Structure 1
């Protein structure tokens, strides 16, 4: 799912950290950010709130994790 306007980074990362499977952000340039890595989270957050925030796509390997994000986006529709 494509994401943009992640202004509530804390909520977003809480959902990421609660996921069981892998969570990845990909850019239009082919960059992949593994959000389960704490170090990569810092780089990804910079991309989310920086110039490329509207060009990222979120991928989850676990269907239950996708449901977590859908619930978060339902509660915060401005993020989609």
Structure 2
């Protein structure tokens, strides 16, 4: 069961990758054109993130998660810029 599409804005790439590593299910980057990249793959991470980066930050992205717990982690990162994994 997939959760809803969530927008991410002005995200630190390093912290985003740390959160992705902690996710248990699939996390997809969804483009405005409707393409989906599975961010569990390092190659997809590289391709997807380089398209969205400006100055070391992800300016805008749409994320779809398989698991609600993963969506919560990414939501906290989006809202607060940090998660429980942050120093």
User: Which structure features the higher share of helix residues?
Assistant: 1
Map of 1:48 onto structure 2: 52
Post-superposition offset of 1:67? 1.1
Over the residues paired in the alignment, what is the CA RMSD in angstroms? 2.0
- Listed as ranges, the gaps of 5+ residues in structure 1 are none
Cα pair 2:9 2:78 within 8 Å, conserved: no
Match of 2:63 among 58, 69, 76: 58
- Taking structure 2 as the reference length, the TM-score comes to 0.74
> Which 4+ runs in 1 deviate beyond 4 A?
none
Q: Matched residues in 2 for 1:44 and 1:73: separation?
A: 17
Deviation per residue, 1:2-55 (Å, 9 max, x gap): 12323x1000011011100000011111221110001111001112215xx53x
1:41 is paired with a residue whose SS is helix
Cα pair 2:28 2:65 within 8 Å, conserved: yes
2:14 is paired with a residue whose SS is helix
Does 2:28 match 1:14?
no
- Listed as ranges, the gaps of 5+ residues in structure 2 are 1-5, 83-87
User: Which structure features the higher share of strand residues?
Assistant: 2
Does 2:30 match 1:30?
no
